[in-house]
Chains A and B, each alone.
Chain A
Amino acid sequence: MEVKIKSMKYEDFKDNEYIEQLINELKASHTNVVVGCLDEVINWGRSNSLWPLTFATSCCGIEFMSLGAARYDMARFGFEVARASPRQADFVMVAGTIVHRMAPVLRRLYDQLAEPKYVVAVGGCAVSGGPFKKSYHVLKGVDEILPVDVYIPGCPPRPEAMFYGLMQLQRKVKVEKFFGGVNRQEKREKVLGK
């Protein structure tokens, strides 16, 4: 099984071991042929229509807007339908610094996203606290409160870097087990990471 992304060759991606590990996990689940084929079709559709939540706190948010504008045009990948309501979004791009006061709000937004849902940590602040790591009011990475699927480092990351990260998310979606897997509600304890 090979995970194909139209815009980029398989060998150009940096961390194929991780995807191969996911493929092995998928193979080990012994899904039958019919369900497996259905999974593949649905995942193809899902990975090409990942809708982000319009969420930005700081500088990275402007680069996220640049993605939506004409030069970088994220519509090529099916990301352009940015939703203002978490109920309609597939993933949240945490673009910017998350501080103590924002933490419960972001957590609630995440909880409101419909399953299956993903989190992309964009920029140094969301990855680790970035230049504000030593501050009294900044979270040392958004993974303190949310499970993160893709990290995109940079301050802010270039639009190309954001696309690379988002394509990694597409690949991850493509190798998921859909029926009996991500389509059912995950257990809350697991999501909370406790």
Chain B
Amino acid sequence: MANIQQEISSFLPEATFVEGTILEVSVPDAKWHDLALYLHDKLHFDYLVSIVGMDWGETMGCVYYFTCTADNSQVSVKVETADRENPLLHSVTDLWKSAYLYEREVYDFYGIRFINHPDMRRLFLRNDWVGYPLRKDYNADPEVNPIRLEHEAVDDTTHAIVETPDGKLEERTNTIFAPEEFVVNIGPQHPATHGVLRLRTSLDGEIVKKIDVYCGYVHRGIEKLCESLTYPQTLHFADRLDYMSAQQNRHAVCLCIEDALRLEIPARAQYVRTIMDELMRISSHLLFYATFCMDLGATTAFFYGFRDREKILDIFEETCGARMTFNYYTIGGLMADIHPDFQRKVKEFCAYLPGMLKDYHTLFTGNVIAQQRMKGVGLLSREDAISYGIAGPSGRASGWACDVRKNHPYALYDQVEFKEIVRTEGDVFARYMVRMDEILESIHIIEQLIDNIPEGDYALKMKPIIKLPEGRYFRQVEASRGPLGIFIESHGDKYPYRLKINSACLPLVGGLDPMCRGGKIADLIAIGGSLDYVIPDMDR
């Protein structure tokens, strides 16, 4: 880490540093794009993990998190501006393509505009929304933003701020869809978008020319809600984000808080957490199998996937008391001990599932029609996967070994033996197969742990009011769809000053446009299904 610090300070002497688990660099905005270029080209920080918009009262700004995919080193950069009326920062969309959506999100929530960003529209909120909700001085009066039942205007153009070579700023209008283009609206109410995602798709006959993604049809404002809740109260939102990785999401929030408090979790809780995470991953991938095959027309597969998922839900229900939103992990351990039948049932299930997976493959994977719809469709190269930030199973299908369980192990993942499934084809079939093979790996992990759960406490005794020491904390876990990051800035209170959820699904829709371009519109359904996004996770 000292090495990175030396290199940055020799390149940019005015940069200041804060050391922590992740090195934080502060730079003035005027030098920010130069540093970004240096980070990207010279230090090879090629993966932009997250952009966290911030309102510090006096100033506003962003905290960027970068990872170098070669050695998994991390660095964060803080950039601020003192102008609250017309806040401007330099965009990094030219270096990291995932910044396109992240910067639009920051604009939507904070009103910070990015110089040289080609498309400064709102991302989650209606385009006639008044105010920027995550600013601390936001006016939440329902009179200002009543429930509007008229549809918002469709915009085919967008605005941008461009810096000319001589350093002047110019307002520009960019075209999204030209008047002669044939634009088809898909969603938000469409069974194949897996929720309420809206895609405006420009077509040339059957060929997709461009996709413009509209998010926010289930934007629930969780990040703002968290700012007025105590830490234990914020946990339950995690279950409702990506409800197919409820346990892992909650694991992320708990880990982030436990890290900040420097807590050592009882071994029993660590074991149970790891097993629960993997069970959740299996259940999510089974649901993926069910819905993805149904999207491609295989209705029987839907019944098979759900049949086996119900068996996992039974196991969860006995221990956690719920089928979907479990509320099981808590700061310092678990809410309750495991059910006496837990180990027996998990072992039965682990013995049962591999045989069923063979059935799945006979039923669907080998099918000629399925193969033709999957192979060679929706190609994504490794470079693009990294640049768009498409991690998780979808990234691993493009040859990017991005598993957080391997790169930054948490819980017991450094003590169990498992393979990271990586394929190199980068098409729909690879994304499908990665998930199917990950089910077997998850079973393998569970089998190593289930007999060795140690006796002892399942949770630490915590005080009812938890205060985090001042600072910024960022933790990631591998959720079912990719890395879920939790960022907490604490000012020493019992409430988080800012809690940001870095969703695994938002970058997935960012990559939808390049993957679908030039393909048939029917392939859009296959590609969308293979990315397996969950809308409430990306919208938050």
Contact = CB atoms under 8 A, between A and B. Distances in A.
Contact of B218 (A99, A144, A156): A99
A58 interface: yes
Interface residues of B, number: 48
Given A69-B307, A109-B189, A139-B147, A62 B287 contact: yes
A135 B225 contact: yes
A69 to B, nearest CB: 3
A13 interface: no
A59 B243 contact: yes
Contact of A134 (B138, B225, B302, B324): B225
Interface string A115-154: 0000000000000000110111111000011000000000
Contacts of A52: none
Nearest to B229: A134
A100 interface: yes
A162 to B, nearest CB: 12
A156 B324 contact: yes
User: Which bucket holds chain A's interface residue count?
Assistant: 35 or more
A104 B148 contact: yes
B165 interface: no
Interface in A30-84: 54-59, 61-63, 65-66, 69-71, 84
Contact of B147 (A56, A109, A144): A144
Contacts of A101: 124-126, 152, 216-217, 219
A113 interface: no
A96 interface: yes
Contacts of A96: 218, 536
Contacts of B243: 58-59, 62
Given A71-B310, A105-B188, A136 B324 contact: no
A171 interface: no
Interface in B254-311: 287, 290-291, 302-303, 306-307, 310
Contacts of A71: 306-307, 310
Given A105-B189, A131-B237, A58 B218 contact: yes
A87 interface: no
B280 to A, nearest CB: 13
B323 A132 contact: no
B323 A63 contact: yes
Given A58-B240, A69-B306, A136-B140, A104 B221 contact: no
A137 B220 contact: yes
B195 A104 contact: no
Given A57-B195, A69-B306, A100 B145 contact: yes
A84 B191 CA distance: 7
Given A66-B306, A69-B302, A70-B306, A57 B147 contact: no
B501 to A, nearest CB: 14
A19 B352 CA distance: 47
B480 to A, nearest CB: 13
Given A70-B307, A101-B125, A139-B147, A62 B217 contact: no
A66 B244 CA distance: 13
A131 B240 contact: yes
A102 interface: yes
A73 to B, nearest CB: 10
A62 B244 contact: yes
Contacts, number: 126
A135 B220 contact: yes
A interface, by DSSP: helix, strand, loop or mixed? Answer: loop
Contacts of B191: 54, 84
Given A56-B195, A156-B324, A138 B220 contact: yes
Q: Which of B149, B188, B222, B303 has its CB near the most chain A CB atoms (within 10 A)?
A: B149
Contacts of A5: none
A58 B331 CA distance: 26
Contact of A99 (B150, B217, B225): B217
A17 B306 CA distance: 38
Nearest to A105: B188
Contact of B324 (A59, A135, A145): A59
A58 B126 contact: no
Nearest to B305: A69
B196 interface: yes
Nearest to A66: B306
A65 B217 contact: no
A57 B240 contact: no
Nearest to B539: A99
Contact of A104 (B133, B150, B244): B150
Contacts of B219: 99, 101, 137
A137 B125 contact: yes
A158 interface: yes
Contacts of A107: 149
Interface string B216-240: 1111111011001000000011001
A182 B43 CA distance: 70
A168 interface: no
B428 interface: no
A99 B217 CA distance: 7
B535 interface: yes
B105 to A, nearest CB: 14
21 contacts: A57-B195, A57-B217, A58-B218, A58-B240, A58-B536, A59-B243, A62-B243, A65-B291, A66-B306, A70-B303, A71-B310, A96-B536, A99-B216, A99-B220, A100-B125, A100-B126, A103-B149, A135-B221, A136-B138, A137-B219, A145-B149
Given A57-B536, A99-B218, A100-B148, 8 more contacts: A71-B310, A96-B536, A97-B218, A99-B219, A101-B219, A132-B221, A135-B220, A135-B225
Q: Kindly list the 6 A-B residue pairs having the minimum CB-CB distance in the complex, ordered from nearest.
A: A69-B306, A135-B221, A59-B243, A58-B536, A132-B220, A137-B221
